[in-house]
Structure 1
Amino acid sequence: MSSLALQSTNEPALELFAEGKRLSTAPNRMGRLMPTDPAIGLQEIRERYDQHGYVWLKGFLKRDDVLAFRGWVFSHLEKSGLTEAGSDPVLGLASSGEPEKQLADRILMSLVRSVVFEGFCAQPRLAQFMDQFLSGISYLHKRKIMRFTRPGTPVVTPAHYDLVYLRGGTSRIVTAWIPLGDTPVEMGGLVYLEGSHAIGTRMEVEFQEKSKGLSPEERISAFNRNMTAGGWVSKDLPEMAERFDTRWLVADYEAGDVMLHSPYMIHASTANQSAANRIRLSTDIRYQNVDDEIDARWGNHWSLGDML
């Protein structure tokens, strides 16, 4: 296997949790994602993406730009009581009290509609790279997600592959997941099921076969009668590793990293266990070639509860 070992023999085992279940630290069930230096060139990047279902571009964006954007986000969310009053917004330190959830949600919905956020997602280096990666003019979906997760909460993203929510257009989607700040393993960034782009492809073929009798609207829905609740593949990450005899791959992400993954690649997140009390912040956005069919449902800004 190409992925690195999870830890050296001198390191204590790191316990990761999702939906209250502990991920196994056994070598055959846990590993490390393989980082890629963007300087290796487009052809090698494409080959790694096709082979592994993902490519982790180390230091692709300017670190200072990412941290400045993180600080901008938390400077606005501070009004809701999300962060520690008077602390440096770049740190994203969680407040000791409960934030005003409705206010935090309203602020977040404003931020994802802002010119600043649009500019961050469409910055020239990323846009030009995606043009090359997609062999044409790249299209950035209007629906762009930004999430924060406080430490000590059970909030995680169950295992899924992205095409489940994008069936109304081309399957040639590329997701860019960008950690907005340093996100070591214990903060619960994305984890990937090794080799699962092949598993997701098989699952989608089976789904399409089962869905022949559904209406066109039902066939593209992640919530139709043939899907699990929420469109998830599973909420039991340890069981998935056993069932498919593979490993969950983790990483210590840094500000400036960009993860690209296939729409069939199964991924999830784990609980934020930051000992430094830092809030995890990230964005996930989708690109495709502008000449391919575009899922019209993704032509609107992200809204909480929009069922996508």
Structure 2
Amino acid sequence: MPISVDGQALLDVPPVALTANGKALSTMPDRLGYLSPTDPSVGVEAIRHLYGAQGYVWLKGLLPRGEVIDFRGWVLSHLAESGLLKPATDPSLGIASSAFDRQLADRRLMSVVRSTAYEGFCAQPRLSRLMDAFVGGLSYLHKRKIMRFTLPGTATATPAHYDLVYLRGGTSRVVTAWIPIGDTSTDMGGLIYLEGSHAIGAALETQFSKDNAGFTDEERISAYNRNMSEGGWVSKDLPQMAERFDTRWLMANFEAGDVVLHSPYMIHASTTNQSLDGLIRLSTDIRYQNVDDEIDARWGNHWSLDDML
């Protein structure tokens, strides 16, 4: 439904009001907008240019849609023992049940992210070739790779942050690839990006570097040092952030096969899963860099829920 002012449509708003950590995002067109999609066939030079200008590139249909949907079904079938899925439904649909065993689901998730199937999904040739070209040499895929599932009605969402906070032990030229595993409409709580915030993140990081100058190396790279906010977040108040920096949060209706590359300085967050169809949001975020650049050793281990990164 578009917002209108004096009868003029300004923005097609999502079917539900986007919320995050108990606060509703403004639907005014100067505070909420859409990501700009990019056809991967434009070539790596154009992709690099857009990445530098926008802080992100939303690559439409980079991966084979059917393979992503099949992988979604494979992942969720391995979590189904926990009661996560509505009985007698296709796992690839990801229809959530009314109750499940969270601890068992988390244990199964830790098994999935250590599997050869997940490694193969993340290291598939078309993605690896793109990242080799993008980083200008052989790309290195960090061993620590994160997969998240979010059920409808989950109260919390990932607060606003930029990734370099958690990767300070290596190069600042790291690139995040966020991959929605399945169609992820705006009501399902996918990632949103603060427009133009790669410059804001870089300025924040410069200030933190000055503030942290007297720390030991271990203290300096920690996202939990005394100069950082709780957990390294920039803010949990997404509407206030848009006002503070006079910019917009950018959303998207992602489809299976899409990949978003974003800068380590780009501020992003998730919103609450309010899926109108009761669907689980499943995604993975993985990180690449040129293999010749310094690598943060903390990311040389598999992701664990308690690894404090």
Contact 1:161 1:266 (C-alpha < 8 Å) held by counterparts: yes
Distance 1:10 1:204 in 2: 33
Q: What is residue 19 of structure 1 aligned with on the other side?
A: 21
Q: What is residue 111 of structure 1 aligned with on the other side?
A: 112
- What 5-or-longer segments of structure 1 have no aligned partner? none
Q: Show the 5 A alignment for 1:274-289.
A: 274-289=275-290
Q: What is residue 197 of structure 1 aligned with on the other side?
A: 198
Contact 2:3 2:10 (C-alpha < 8 Å) held by counterparts: no
Pick from 65, 68, 91: which aligns with 1:66? Answer: 68
Q: What is residue 95 of structure 2 aligned with on the other side?
A: 93
C-alpha distance after superposition, 1:138-160 (max 9, x if no partner): 00000000000000111310000
Distance 2:294 2:86 in 1: 45
TM-score (ref. length: structure 1)? 0.96
Q: What is residue 215 of structure 1 aligned with on the other side?
A: 216
Contact 2:169 2:297 (C-alpha < 8 Å) held by counterparts: yes
Contact 1:149 1:155 (C-alpha < 8 Å) held by counterparts: no
Pick from 30, 55, 80: which aligns with 2:32? Answer: 30
Q: What is residue 49 of structure 1 aligned with on the other side?
A: 51
Quote how far apart the aligned CAs of 1:10 are. 8.9
Give me the CA root mean square deviation. Answer: 1.4
TM-score (ref. length: structure 2)? 0.96
Quote how far apart the aligned CAs of 1:9 are. 5.6
Residue 126 of structure 2 aligns to a residue in which SS? helix
Q: Structure 2 vs 1, CA of residues 9 and 224 (structure 1 numbering), >3 Å: closer, same or farther?
A: closer
Q: Show the 5 A alignment for 1:1-308.
A: 8=9, 14-96=16-98, 98-308=99-309
Residue 201 of structure 1 aligns to a residue in which SS? helix
Q: Which amino acid aligns with 2:302?
A: H
Give the ranges of 4+ consecutive aligned residues of structure 1 lying more than 3 Å apart after TM superposition: 5-14
Contact 1:38 1:60 (C-alpha < 8 Å) held by counterparts: yes
Distance 2:131 2:13 in 1: 39
Residue 286 of structure 2 aligns to a residue in which SS? strand
Distance 1:120 1:260 in 2: 16
Alignment coverage as a number of residue pairs: 303
Contact 2:13 2:27 (C-alpha < 8 Å) held by counterparts: no
Contact 2:3 2:12 (C-alpha < 8 Å) held by counterparts: no
Percentage of pairs with the same residue: 68
Quote how far apart the aligned CAs of 1:12 are. 6.1
Contact 1:166 1:295 (C-alpha < 8 Å) held by counterparts: yes
- What 5-or-longer segments of structure 2 have no aligned partner? none
Quote how far apart the aligned CAs of 1:135 are. 0.4
